[in-house]
């Protein structure tokens, strides 16, 4: 790369840099010159490509100094599709396919991984990658439970690598502009945020024990989770609704909007959490709630409300998912990559249209808008740029989701230590802070 001496001088000054437009980025200390060698090409492995990982491939293929070196998946069909997609998306050479991602971690020339595995694998896989000396881009939620989030935060500090979470809305232009409106005082004091997500997910029925398909390594798919038998209604998506592997809709999709709410209100840990709901639409194997509300009170007179409807897609404010902010002088409705501001008499005073015509659908992101988030991850490795979504900060948003689930599962409100996020005076609830692991798979620092 050109002008490396100037870049090295620049790197000495970026340790305390902050992201524009009010992003929350704490000053984590890294020894940049020793940890982040300047390279012409960064070699990455994409782990888990059946669903969200395919968008990782497409986004990374648009970044010039990235080489997708490995595609990893326990499903041989998905593995081949991922390799083909990488080539179709512009990879000059087909990536190497590995069913067991740990073999890719053994490659000393591999710089980083992106993780789009099921939730129960997020933290254990990230821990293995960090211990192998790799930087990590990890999909939301990044943890199956609060204890895992705490452990991975410790690992970020211990191993000194870049760890970015895939809550890519923090990189969207209109989202960042909307946050600047809030933080600059457009609404005066902002004290309440409402978040929601709706969909029309069908019943998953009652699964029957079945033979494990020859294309699936189910033993490795379960990995750190305690073993359960294979059933015909589990893979590839319905694991989200089983507590052994998934975390329900509030963590699956609510994390995006609760993160924006927390960012907009400029709050950290709540003082009280209460959640209710149930599996109302169908009677089947689905264990997590398909209808759920969660409320969060904060000590400085602010609150957040989450509403999730997995099986009833009636929109709010014309959108199936979003967040609205309410303050002294009016309301800001943040609807994906656009927003509207109303004064208190409901007069529209500003409307910011999307910055792109890319459609954001209910399956996840506006995929062409992912590139900036991945580029920031690579720039943090290459140049020492401040991360837009550093894991130790964003895990506070994920904790809101986990706390909502714990309140739902215990059937009562939780009192929270606002300094640590821990549940106070409730040993039964704290039993859900962590999980049991399959013997031999317990993650450690």
- The per-residue pLDDT string of the chain (445 residues; one tens digit each, 9 = 90 and over) reads 444 333 333 233 333 333 333 333 333 333 333 344 557 899 999 999 998 999 999 999 999 999 999 999 999 999 999 999 999 999 989 999 999 999 999 999 999 999 999 999 999 999 999 999 999 999 999 999 999 999 999 999 999 999 999 999 999 999 999 999 999 999 999 999 999 999 999 999 999 999 999 999 999 999 999 999 999 999 999 999 999 999 999 999 999 999 999 999 999 999 999 999 999 999 999 999 999 999 999 999 999 999 999 999 999 988 999 999 999 999 999 988 899 999 999 999 999 998 765 555 444 444 467 899 999 999 999 999 999 999 999 999 999 999 999 999 999 999 999 999 999 999 999 999 999 999 999 999 9
Q: What are phi and psi of 231, to 5 degrees?
A: -125, 160
Q: How far is CA 196 from the centre of its chain?
A: 16
- For the chain, how many residues are written? 445
Q: Where are the alpha helices (DSSP H) in 321-441?
A: 371-382, 391-410, 427-430
Q: pTM value?
A: 0.89
Query: How many Å from the N-terminal Cα to the C-terminal Cα in the chain?
Result: 35
Tell me the domain boundaries of the chain.
4-170+369-391, 172-202+235-363+395-430
How far apart, in whole angstroms, are the C-alpha atoms of residue 148 and residue 97?
Answer: 28
Helix 173-183 crosses helix 254-265 at what angle (to 10 degrees)? 30
**Does CATH number 3.40.50.720 belong to domain 4-170+369-391?**
yes
- CATH superfamily membership of 172-202+235-363+395-430: Dihydrodipicolinate Reductase; domain 2 (3.30.360.10)
Q: What is the DSSP string of 83-120?
A: HHHHHHTT-SSPPEEESSHHHHHT-TT--EEEE-S-HH
- Three-state secondary structure call for residue 28: coil
- Cβ contact 64:130 at 8 Å: no
Angstrom distances, CA of residue 172 to CA of 176, 178, 353: 6, 10, 12
Q: What is the DSSP string of 167-235?
A: -GGGG-HHHHHHHHHHHTTTTSSEEEEEEEEE-BPPP-----B-PPPTTB-HHHHHTTSPP---BTT-T
**CA neighbor of 118 nearest in space, from 61, 75, 152:** 75
């Amino acid at each position: 790369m050109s002008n490396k001496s100037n870049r090295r001088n620049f790197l000495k000054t970026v340790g305390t840099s902050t992201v524009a437009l009010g992003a929350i980025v704490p000053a984590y200390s890294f020894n940049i010159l020793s940890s982040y060698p300047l390279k012409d090409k960064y070699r990455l492995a994409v782990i888990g490509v059946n669903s969200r990982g395919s968008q990782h491939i497409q986004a990374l293929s648009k970044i010039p100094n990235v080489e997708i070196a490995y595609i990893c998946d326990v499903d041989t069909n998905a593995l081949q599709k991922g390799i083909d997609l990488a080539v179709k998306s512009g990879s000059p050479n087909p990536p190497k396919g590995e069913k067991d991602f740990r073999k890719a971690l053994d490659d000393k020339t591999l710089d980083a991984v992106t993780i789009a595995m099921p939730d129960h694998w997020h933290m254990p896989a990230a821990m293995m990658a960090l211990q192998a000396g790799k930087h990590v881009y990890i999909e939301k939620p990044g943890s199956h439970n609060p204890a895992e989030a705490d452990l991975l935060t410790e690992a970020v500090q211990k191993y000194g690598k870049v760890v970015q979470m895939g809550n890519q809305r923090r990189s969207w232009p209109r989202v960042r502009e909307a946050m600047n409106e809030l933080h600059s005082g457009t609404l005066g004091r902002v004290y309440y945020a409402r978040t929601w997500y709706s969909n029309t997910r069908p019943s998953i029925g009652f699964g029957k024990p079945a033979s494990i398909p020859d294309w699936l390594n189910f033993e490795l798919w379960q990995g750190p989770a305690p073993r359960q038998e294979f059933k015909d209604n589990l893979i590839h998506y319905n694991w989200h609704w089983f507590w052994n592997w998934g975390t329900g809709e509030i963590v699956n999709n609510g994390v995006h909007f609760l993160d924006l709410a927390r960012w907009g209100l400029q709050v950290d840990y709540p003082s009280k959490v209460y959640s209710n709901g149930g599996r109302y639409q169908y009677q089947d194997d689905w264990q997590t709630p398909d209808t759920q509300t969660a409320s969060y009170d904060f000590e400085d007179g602010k609150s957040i409300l989450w509403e999730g409807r997995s099986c009833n897609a009636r929109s709010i404010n014309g959108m199936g998912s979003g967040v609205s902010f309410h303050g002294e002088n009016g309301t800001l409705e943040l609807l994906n990559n656009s927003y509207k501001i109303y004064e208190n008499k409901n007069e529209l005073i500003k409307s910011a249209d999307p910055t792109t015509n890319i459609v954001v659908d209910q399956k996840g992101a506006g995929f062409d808008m992912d590139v900036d988030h991945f580029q920031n991850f690579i720039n943090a490795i290459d140049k020492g740029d401040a991360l837009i979504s550093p894991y130790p900060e964003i895990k506070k948003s994920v904790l809101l989701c986990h706390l909502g689930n714990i309140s739902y599962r215990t059937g009562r409100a939780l009192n929270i230590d606002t300094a640590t996020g821990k549940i106070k005076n409730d040993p039964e609830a704290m039993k859900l802070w962590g999980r049991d692991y399959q013997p031999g798979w317990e993650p450690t620092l």
